[in-house]
Chains A and B, each alone.
Chain A
Amino acid sequence: MIHSLFLINASGDIFLEKHWKSVVSRSVCDYFFEAQERATEPENVPPVIPTPHHYLISVLRHHIYFVAVIQSEVPPLFVIEFLHRVVDTFQDYFGVCTEAAIKDNVVVVYELLEEMLDNGFPLATESNILKELIKPPTILRTMVNTITGSTNVGEQLPTGQLSVVPWRRTGVKYTNNEAYFDVVEEIDAIIDKSGSTITAEIQGVIDACVKLTGMPDLTLSFMNPRLLDDVSFHPCVRFKRWEAERILSFIPPDGNFRLLSYHVSSQNLVAIPVYVKHNITFREGSSQGRFDLTLGPKQTMGKAVESVLVSSQLPRGVLNANLNPSQGTYTFDPVTKLLTWDVGKINPQKLPSLKGTMSLQAGASKPDENPTINIQFKIQQMAISGLKVNRLDMYGEKYKPFKGIKYMTKAGKFQAGLPDKWTLEYIKTELLHKEIRIN
């Protein structure tokens, strides 16, 4: 399966290599560099690159390319998914997954990679098991290790891999038993100029941080489980129970994990929590354009819309923008033509607005591109879909855990766009066609 792994940084240096079978020369990466050169953007490097003797499958995370070398047929997603799992593990161990962090912990990285794959086939990928095998570095442990010469490899032989609950190690102990669940929803939307929604969908996840002693068996039930249209689970969730009763029943892994990700059915109308009014005009012949943008909250159930950030790619003809925000700050990069406006919190009484003029290149004709406007925001204490956790029960252990549930809504890919001439034209012809068909 996976022969070798190369880590390549943004400047094109191979800073780590690991081979699981016989050694593959690092010159194989030249094919990758070639492809990288061809691709204009870093994310446009094809994930799968065939070379005469090997195939390179890569993922790009945190500006590092993880390039796996494959020699024969294997499902590409298998490799991609595994590479992402490697990145997640690094992140879990070192807090960040940067080149510096990997180099600082190169021995731990090597030990991890050794455990995760055997002969190119995944062996232990659950972070709980790995942590039993190889302890994550902490400042304290690093210090102690350097002084005493002790190791970061687990003293005891791990049992997790052999247990019936492969994702949880045995003998977990905490003085404070806590279980936190974050329901985080992202709303993706495309909104046209008139404010009507072209598409809108909600994707949610429930991230858990469970620190409970022993082998707790949790059940989590929802007030309105029918909202969840499409779900995918952590392997710990008992699928049959969900099918039958719409209850999440599981023995949780220790620590942080993603319990569930879901999609809210598209049949449900998605409430759009903010609206945008914008008016961007360029007059023919004039070197001035007007810019006017107002934001406002709607359907937020009284919750404040926070951390609002508006960004827009202005047309190339725009030289500079002289704008006046009613709150927050804005920046305009004359090179990339990117306008960003950090709004902060929306005050429903006094709606934030950004008005002013744009200067255009002299002599340039009127830019015809209407910029799309991307909006980011956060709403605390609310899940926009209305999903509510009903209760969380614990079985199998005697103590009373502290339980907490937090809701949050975020903007995912939230765009406000504009329709244009051709659309109208098209709609006309479409109507005509319909008439013809009727006749």
Chain B
Amino acid sequence: MSASSAFNDEKGGSSSVGEPEYGHDPASGGIFSSDYKRHDDLKEMLDSNKDSLKLEAMKRIVAMIARGKNASDLFPAVVKNVACKNIEVKKLVYVYLVRYAEEQQDLALLSISTFQRGLKDPNQLIRASALRVLSSIRVTIIVPIMMLAIKEAASDMSPYVRKTAAHAIPKLYSLDPEQKDQLIEVIEKLLADKTTLVAGSVVMAFEEVCPERIDLIHKNYRKLCNLLIDVEEWGQVVIINMLTRYARTQFLNPNINESLLEEGGSGDKTFYGSDEDEDEDEEEKEKKAEVAAMAKRKPYVMDPDHRLLLRNTKPLLQSRNAAVVMAVAQLYFHLAPKAEVGVIAKALVRLLRSHSEVQYVVLQNVATMSIKRRGMFEPYLKSFYIRSTDPTQIKVLKLEVLTNLANETNISTILREFQTYIKSMDKDFVAATIQAIGRCATNISEVRDTCLNGLVQLLSNRDELVVAESVVVIKKLLQMQPEKHSDIIKHMAKLTDNIQVPMARASILWLIGEYCEHVPKIAPDVLRKMAKSFTNEEDIVKLQIINLAAKLYLTNSKQTKLLTQYVLNLAKYDQNYDIRDRARFIRQLIVPTEKSGALSKYAKKLFLALKPAPVLESPFKDRDHFQLGSLSHLLNAKAGGYQELPDWPEAAPDPSVRNVEVPEWTKCSSREKRKEKKVEKPFYTDSEGESGPTESADSESDSATGSESSSGSEESGSGSESEESKEASESEEEEEEEEEEEKKKKKKDLKKPVQESESEQSSEEEERKHQRKSKPRKSESESESDEDEESESESSQSESEDSESEAEVKKKKKPAESKPPPKPVKKESKKEKKEMSLLDLDDFEPAPSPQVTPVNTFLSNSLVTDLEGLSLSDSVLSPATIAPSSTLKSYELLHRITGEGLSVEYCFSRQPFSPDANMVAVQMQFTNNASSDTKNLHIEDVKLQSGMRVKEFPEIELLPAGETATAVMGIDFCDSTQAANFQLCTHTRKFFVSIQPPVGELMRPVFLTENEFKKEQGQLMGMNEITEKLTLDVKCRNEHTIVQRVTTAANLSRVPCGSDKECSPPLPPPDHPVHRFAGRTVTSGSLVLVTVATKEEGAAQLTVNCEKMVIGTMLVKDILQALTQ
């Protein structure tokens, strides 16, 4: 009652009318009269015409509900106001209605018609709120009305209403489970919804109504994966948890091969990993027998859909919502290949900074994870150190994690940490620490003695609890090797005089009894003392005294016979029946009489059998059969409604069920596309030489070092590739690979134009987009490298390109003689190994990689213009043949959600912009994902910094639904990285967009010889020179990569080294080559010179000389980043 009176006192001016009534509402006496009076008063107010009075009355009623007071007798008066005009009154009436409708069903029906009217309202929010309240009224009679309303709302135009419909589904289901079948139909319909607003809610409904109908997910799987990042955070949690379960039923265990490999080469098994792997192995051994044969024949290939899920959830580890982070973490733990699980550790450790409740849950999960995957958390050991301000339950959990993480290498630091914990004031925590030390000692034999010594020292601690806990733990440790430690046992025997904690006394007695042969003199004496105090002992101690007596009687009956008799007699008349029983039982067993049976012969065996040492196990062991992050996992017991995490299937179910008939570019990984990639994969190892056209182009202009550099790059390339196949997670390598992949594809496409067009049709749009972009690039780069001989052929179609590229291939094969690339074999193997596709392939970033084929020679303007015109006209005539610019980094201009279906990406095509050489060409790609056509795409309202200019692209008159179009616009950025802002207009909408160029795109390559370069550099010293020291990334120490990365970061061309000594014989490349790059800014034409001088051990020096210091500084930053990442 104190709460309510406080409530009245503190209730200030907010609602003072009628407040005194409350004040008179005492806990005792007079309740009834005042109650009636008050309610009459409220009824009057509700019946009045004034909204303010009604509101006041409703506010007071809601306050009553909030305090848990019964206000049900007001129902008739309240329900009358359901159609009130005042929004707040209406809302409060809704609150009341939802609360009491179940109790007053008949009266509640009066309000239904209001809601039915609301469902037809033109305003979506009113429709939604009507459905919300209607579905919340728990009255069985209106089930058909609710069903109808839900069905209607599920096909409402407004996604918000559809979301409300999804929320209503579980409400109806809990009211009347009979409706399940109909509701599933609605769920199925809503699952197909493409808006992020609905996705989370409908999956929630799915989970509550029909979690077993996993088949409903198939068709929506890819959509859900792709939408995930834009769904609101609560929906994300539900979707991720559901997809985890889905993936477990549909994909193969990604770690199955790994465990097989481990089995094969178990010699290199990590020493500390042994205990964790063992149980895993055991589980898998049975499976392996069957699977092994199969798996060996057919190596594991990750389903691209599996990969899609992993990739799309990863960014969510960065969410501010702990529940989302946890959901992703459990998904990775349950689904990801071992090598990739590590990424979640950092995010989980971050959550430890959050509120203590969050910490509590996270630590529980970390504890389970750390048993299976210790390596993952080892780098974060210090994050689990305990602070004196942590609540005890957090401390104990951290201790658990620390113990799980302990191994030979870190045990010393952990133990040192533990000792400081023993000083803590928090006794429960100290006890837990001592237990933890014990567990470390049993797990890591190297430190057993150290721990034991430490614990023995604790025996002299002044705190009894500490001593008692130590005794218990020491007992367990001694059981492992009792012979060595008789002095410790003696020491503990002495402690019986002082220690009063029953558990500790019992432990000591048990120890002495068990190892009485090691302490033959002391044991009887202890028994003597115990016999004296027997009657005052606790029950568990008494039982141990009887045990001790029995054991001594058996080993040393001469000295202890009488004592034993005495103890047993005492026990015979004990109050506790357990003890009386034990005494009788033991007497019969050990004291041979004529009545005693055959058992007494075996008494010694029974009592003094060798007992196995106890295994001190983590309470979190094997908890991972529960889905992590779930309530069931936390409680280690199945909670109601928990869906078991299924085991991996042994053979993958048909993956084609997830194919969706209607092609949509958002679902970027369709089957067809995957197959295509698979086809190319085996191609890749031996086509390395071809895939480095940059180098070979280089070698043409620079014959001195050409062959070396290309072969060098080939080596490095293959090196990085083999690494890749092991670790799919290195994104850079992926990008590199991706690029090479693209190139190969281009090659292939060129060779088989017919096939290409076929596959084209079947493949998805994005695929096409890729190709569209890369084609002109391809032709361009070819034209550059082959400029001297066949600059004409570019203008012709693919046939001539075809022959040309083959010629090119042959040409390249000659210098790089070291590799034998038998072409026909390649083709064969390609077909054979269709199934062998490597999973990394599918690890495409949705945005194309930033790798760019460097342009080595600056083309004459006219030629480029020709080329560009060609590619542009291509795009109009036959969009299917236009190149993918996956080698260019594309940026998002307009997201498909913001753009209401229209998405725009742009990239800097690095081609001179023909109408105005001072402009940077920006290639834009429009994709219409909406269901209706988009018309009149054009630019308006250009907002620029002074000096900047824009040349708009010609208006796109029609972009049919599902189609893609490309356009090029020119922007003169005035050599600054200021963004160009403008409006992108369609026939219906305008979108504010802005294009901001990376500094590297503000220049164009120029060709300089080394001498020219040095001369120019000499003139740009002092303020115009910026030098940075850096350490090259490990993957970036070969020439090829350096060149590639620099040219990716900035549109520069490479300065061939030694090119002015063309007649001299080719020199071997210097040990520490210097790479030079040159370019001019687009607007002002200022020279930009970049030098990367490599040194030993990956050290390097980056020098940028540029008249424009701002550009220079920014460029240094960008290149630095490109080279060090």
Contact = CB atoms under 8 A, between A and B. Distances in A.
B388 A415 contact: yes
A190 B991 CA distance: 52
B62 interface: yes
Given A44-B391, A72-B641, A420-B419, A313 B425 contact: yes
B3 interface: yes
A162 interface: yes
A21 interface: yes
Nearest to A313: B425
Interface stretch (B630-638, B657-665, B684-692, B802-810): B630-638
A230 B347 contact: yes
B757 interface: no
A47 B641 CA distance: 20
A370 B423 contact: yes
B123 A59 contact: no
Given A164-B897, A413-B387, A76 B634 contact: yes
A93 B272 CA distance: 53
A439 to B, nearest CB: 14
B541 interface: no
Contacts of B68: 14, 17, 26
B259 to A, nearest CB: 29
Interface in B189-238: 201, 204, 229, 232-234, 237
Contacts of A199: 382, 385
Contacts of A99: 6
B635 A50 contact: yes
Contacts of A415: 387-388
Interface size class of A (residues with CB under 8 A): 35 or more
Contact of A426 (B11, B233, B415, B897): B415
A103 B454 contact: no
B320 A104 contact: no
Interface stretch (A108-116, A292-300, A324-332): A108-116
B358 A22 contact: no
B88 A151 contact: yes
A42 B201 CA distance: 36
Nearest to A42: B391
B358 A80 contact: yes
Interface in B46-102: 50-53, 55-56, 59, 62-63, 65-68, 86-88, 91-92, 94-95, 99, 102
Nearest to B416: A423
Contacts of A396: 981, 992, 994
Interface in B87-143: 87-88, 91-92, 94-95, 99, 102, 123-126, 132, 135-136, 138
Contacts of A155: 87
Contacts of A111: 91-92, 95
A114 B327 contact: no
Given A59-B355, A78-B234, A149-B50, A41 B14 contact: no
Interface string B342-360: 0000110110010111101
A232 B450 contact: no
Given A46-B393, A121-B234, A395-B994, A13 B446 contact: no
Interface stretch (A234-242, A271-279, A353-361, A400-408): A234-242
Contacts of B1099: none
Contacts of A123: 167
Contacts of A46: 360, 393
A105 interface: yes
Interface string A400-430: 0000000000000101010110110111011
B994 A84 contact: no
A240 B845 CA distance: 11
Contacts of A233: 318-320
Given A107-B59, A137-B14, A151-B86, A73 B642 contact: yes
A161 B160 contact: yes
A15 interface: yes
Interface string A91-107: 00000000110011111
A158 B126 CA distance: 11
Interface in B227-266: 229, 232-234, 237, 241
Contacts of A58: 357
A15, A419, A422: residue with the most chain B Cβ atoms closer than 10 Å: A422
A107 B450 CA distance: 63
Nearest to B392: A44
A6 to B, nearest CB: 9
Interface in B622-660: 629-632, 634-635, 637, 639-643
Contact of B123 (A61, A71, A157, A201): A157
A146 interface: yes
B1034 to A, nearest CB: 16
Interface string B995-1012: 000100000000000000
A430 B360 CA distance: 33
A153 B88 contact: yes
Contact of A82 (B168, B234, B992): B234
A107 B234 contact: no
B57 to A, nearest CB: 12
Contacts of A427: 412, 416
Contacts of A433: 446-447, 450
User: Which of B14, B233, B389, B632 has the largest number of chain A CB atoms within 10 A?
Assistant: B14
Nearest to B330: A75
Given A77-B361, A114-B91, A146-B13, A72 B640 contact: yes
A48 B123 contact: no
A70 B13 CA distance: 36
A384 B859 CA distance: 51
B776 interface: no
Contacts of A340: none
A234 B320 CA distance: 6
A427 B413 CA distance: 10
Contacts of A153: 87-88, 91
Contacts of B2: 11, 13
A261 B320 contact: yes
A430 B412 contact: yes
B347 A146 contact: no
A256 interface: no
A162 B124 contact: yes
Contacts of B323: 75, 77-78, 80-82
Nearest to B1124: A226
A74 interface: yes
Contact of B66 (A48, A110, A258): A110
Q: Across chains A and B, which 10 residue pairs bring their CB atoms closest together, nearest first? A: A149-B52, A72-B641, A151-B88, A13-B3, A153-B88, A73-B642, A47-B357, A122-B234, A43-B391, A77-B323
28 contacts: A43-B356, A48-B361, A48-B631, A71-B640, A72-B641, A73-B632, A73-B642, A75-B241, A76-B634, A103-B6, A118-B132, A121-B201, A125-B233, A149-B53, A149-B55, A149-B56, A157-B123, A158-B125, A239-B318, A261-B353, A365-B462, A370-B423, A422-B457, A423-B420, A426-B415, A429-B449, A430-B450, A433-B450
Interface of A: 1, 9, 11, 13-19, 21-23, 26, 40-41, 43-44, 46-48, 50, 55, 58-61, 70-78, 80-82, 84, 99-100, 103-107, 109-111, 114, 118-119, 121-123, 125, 137, 142-143, 146, 148-149, 151-155, 157-158, 161-162, 164, 166, 190, 198-199, 201, 203, 215, 217, 229-235, 239-240, 243-245, 258, 261, 263, 266, 313, 365, 368-370, 372, 374, 393, 395-396, 413, 415, 417, 419-420, 422-423, 425-427, 429-430, 433
Interface of B: 2-3, 6-7, 10-17, 50-53, 55-56, 59, 62-63, 65-68, 86-88, 91-92, 94-95, 99, 102, 123-126, 132, 135-136, 138, 158-160, 164, 167-168, 170-171, 174, 201, 204, 229, 232-234, 237, 241, 315, 318-323, 325-327, 346-347, 349-350, 353, 355-358, 360-362, 382-383, 385, 387-389, 391-393, 412, 415-416, 419-420, 423, 425, 446-447, 449-450, 453-454, 457, 462, 629-632, 634-635, 637, 639-643, 847, 889, 891-892, 897-898, 979, 981, 992, 994, 998
